[in-house]
C-alpha cells in the first residue's frame, strides 16, 4: 500500500497571481494535475493532498478525482504539513512525499525511490547541481552514508560547498514517520518544522538512508513565472521526444505544443507551431501544416490539414482535406474524401463523403449528404434571433456561389441552386432553384444624364 502525500498549501506570492500556485496552468492543465496523473500510475495508491491558501479553489479544480483533501491552516513548514496528514496514512504503508510545485517527477523515478525505501524504510531523492543555491545539502560520512541535511540558511561554509542536494522528495515507511514526526522542533533560522530533520533521527536510530539520483530537470520547482515557463519548455520537449519515438516526423521538435494527449498512427508529419489540446487521435499518414490548432479531435487516415486551420471537437474521415484557414467547430463530422477549403467555417454539421466546400462559406446546423458541391460565399442562415434551425442538402446537389439558405430548408437530391439566390423554400429533387432580381443594362451616358437631371431637381 502506498500513501501519496502531496504538499500543496503554499500561496506562491512570487507568481503575482490571485490563483494558488499549484493550479497555475502548465501545458494547458493545472500544475498539480501532472503530478496526480503520474502518481495514479502507481499500484495501490491512496492520494492525499495537503492544501492551505485558497484551498477551495484547489479542491474545486479536481473535484472529480478520488483525493483525500487535508487542510493545513497554518503553514509552519514541511514537517508540520506531513504531521497534518499522518493520521490518514495506513500503519503498514509506504509514504511517498511529493510537492505540488515540483510537477515533472517521472513515474520511473517514483518507482525507483519506492523500491529503495523497501530496504530500510527510508529513501530520498537527491540531485547533483553545479549551482546548488537555495537547496539543502546532503551531508555524508566517510563511508558515504547519509548523516544529515544542512538547510542553506543553517549550513556551514564547508557544507555549502557540497553539490549533492536534497529535493525534499522521499519515501518513508508510515511507522517510522509516526515515530519521528512528534519529535520535530522549530529551533532553526526559519522557525519552521523541517521534514528533513527526520534524517538525523534516522541516523540516530540506526536506520540506513538510501538515495536515488534524479535528473535535475524533473525536480525543478516553480516559484515564479520564469520558472513556470522553463518547466513548460521541458515538458514540451519530453512530449515531442515521445512523438518522435512513436515514428512521427516533426519538422521542428522545438516548435510544437502538446497540451493534452496525442495518439498517433504511422507516417504522421507535423509542421511547425502546431498546437494540440485535449485528446487528439491522428490516423496513419496524417499531414498537418504549420500553425494549426487541433483540440479534442479524431482525425482519420491520410488526412491533409493545411496551414492555419482550427479544428475543435471534430471527427474527420479518411482522405479528407482541410484548409488552409479553415475553422471546424464542435459537433462537426467530416466524412471520407471531403474537402473543406480556405476561409470555410463549419459548426455542428455532418458533411457526407466526397462533398466539397472549397472556400468562403459558413455551414452551421446542417446535414449535407454525399458528393455535394457548395460554391464560394454560401451560407446557411441557421439562426432567427431566438432558435437554431437545420439545413439539409441531399446527395449530389449543386449549390452555386453567393447563396443564402434560410433554415429550416431542404435541398433535394441532384437539385441545383443558382448563384446569388436566397432560398427560403424547399427545393425538390433534380430541380433548379433561382431567385434573382431582373438585370437591367443601359448605356452609361444615359445613366449619367438621369443622375444630372435628378440633381438639378
| pLDDT attached to residue 457 | 58
Nearest-angstrom CA–CA distance, 13 and 399: 59
137 CB contacts (<8 Å, ≥6 apart)?
149, 150, 152, 155, 159, 160, 162, 164, 165, 166
**pLDDT mean by block of 10 residues, the chain; 457 residues:** 94 90 95 96 94 94 93 90 92 95 96 95 95 90 90 87 94 95 86 88 94 94 95 96 97 97 97 98 98 98 98 98 98 98 98 97 98 98 94 98 97 97 96 89 77 67
Active site residues: 359
> How many CB atoms neighbour CB 97 within 10 A?
24
Nearest-angstrom CA–CA distance, 52 and 36: 18
| pLDDT attached to residue 454 | 66
| pLDDT attached to residue 259 | 96
Work out whether strand 137-140 and strand 146-150 pair parallel, antiparallel, or are unpaired: antiparallel
| pLDDT attached to residue 115 | 95
Nearest-angstrom CA–CA distance, 153 and 119: 32
- Does this model's pTM top 0.85? My answer is yes
Average model confidence (pLDDT) across the chain? 94
| pLDDT attached to residue 26 | 96
| pLDDT attached to residue 453 | 72
Whether residue 175 contacts residue 91, with contact meaning beta carbons closer than 8 Å, is answered with yes
| pLDDT attached to residue 201 | 93
| pLDDT attached to residue 73 | 87
Nearest-angstrom CA–CA distance, 87 and 72: 13
Structural domains for the chain = 2-219 (3.90.550.10), 225-433 (2.160.10.10)
Amino acid at each position: 500500500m502506498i500513501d501519496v502525500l502531496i504538499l500543496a498549501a503554499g500561496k506562491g506570492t512570487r507568481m503575482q497571481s490571485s490563483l494558488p500556485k499549484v493550479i497555475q496552468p502548465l501545458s494547458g492543465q493545472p500544475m498539480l494535475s501532472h503530478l496526480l496523473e503520474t502518481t495514479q500510475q502507481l499500484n495501490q495508491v491512496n492520494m492525499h493532498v495537503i492544501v492551505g491558501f485558497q484551498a477551495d479553489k484547489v479542491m474545486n479544480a479536481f473535484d472529480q478525482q478520488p483525493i483525500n483533501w487535508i487542510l493545513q491552516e497554518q503553514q509552519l513548514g514541511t514537517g508540520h504539513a506531513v504531521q497534518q496528514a499522518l493520521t490518514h496514512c495506513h500503519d503498514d504503508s509506504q509514504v511517498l512525499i511529493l510537492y505540488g510545485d515540483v510537477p515533472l517527477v517521472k513515474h520511473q523515478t517514483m518507482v525507483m525511490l519506492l523500491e529503495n525505501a523497501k530496504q530500510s524504510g527510508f529513501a530520498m531523492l537527491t540531485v547533483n547541481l553545479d549551482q546548488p543555491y537555495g537547496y539543502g545539502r546532503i551531508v555524508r560520512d566517510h563511508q558515504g552514508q547519509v548523516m544529515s541535511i544542512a538547510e542553506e540558511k543553517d549550513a556551514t561554509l564547508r557544507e555549502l560547498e557540497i553539490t549533492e542536494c536534497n529535493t525534499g522528495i522521499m519515501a518513508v515507511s508510515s511507522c517510522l514517520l509516526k515515530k519521528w514526526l512528534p519529535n520535530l522542533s522549530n529551533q532553526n533560522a526559519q522557525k519552521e518544522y523541517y521534514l528533513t530533520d527526520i534524517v538525523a533521527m534516522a541516523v540516530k536510530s540506526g536506520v540506513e538512508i538510501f538515495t536515488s539520483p534524479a535528473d535535475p530537470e524533473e525536480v525543478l520547482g516553480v516559484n515564479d513565472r520564469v520558472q513556470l515557463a522553463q518547466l513548460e519548455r521541458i515538458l514540451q520537449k519530453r512530449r515531442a521526444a515521445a512523438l518522435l519515438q512513436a515514428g512521427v516526423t516533426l519538422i521542428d521538435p522545438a516548435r510544437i505544443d502538446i497540451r493534452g494527449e496525442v495518439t498517433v498512427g504511422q507516417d504522421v508529419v507535423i509542421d511547425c507551431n502546431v498546437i494540440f489540446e485535449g485528446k487528439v487521435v491522428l490516423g496513419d499518414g496524417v499531414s498537418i501544416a504549420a500553425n494549426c490548432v487541433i483540440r479534442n479531435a479524431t482525425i482519420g487516415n491520410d488526412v491533409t490539414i493545411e496551414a492555419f486551420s482550427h479544428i475543435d471537437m471534430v471527427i474527420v474521415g479518411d482522405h479528407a482535406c482541410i484548409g488552409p484557414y479553415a475553422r471546424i467547430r464542435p459537433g462537426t463530422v467530416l466524412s471520407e474524401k471531403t474537402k473543406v477549403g480556405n476561409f470555410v467555417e463549419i459548426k455542428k454539421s455532418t458533411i457526407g463523403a466526397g462533398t466539397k466546400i472549397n472556400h468562403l462559406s459558413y455551414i452551421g446546423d446542417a446535414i449535407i449528404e454525399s458528393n455535394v458541391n457548395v460554391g464560394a460565399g454560401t451560407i446557411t442562415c441557421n439562426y432567427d434571433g431566438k432558435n437554431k434551425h437545420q439545413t439539409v442538402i441531399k446527395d449530389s446537389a449543386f449549390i452555386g456561389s453567393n447563396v443564402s439558405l434560410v433554415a429550416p430548408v431542404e435541398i433535394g437530391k441532384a437539385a441545383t441552386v443558382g448563384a446569388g439566390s436566397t432560398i427560403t423554400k424547399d427545393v425538390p429533387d433534380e430541380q433548379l432553384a433561382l431567385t434573382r432580381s431582373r438585370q437591367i443594362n443601359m448605356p452609361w451616358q444615359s445613366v449619367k444624364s438621369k443622375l444630372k437631371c435628378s440633381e438639378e431637381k
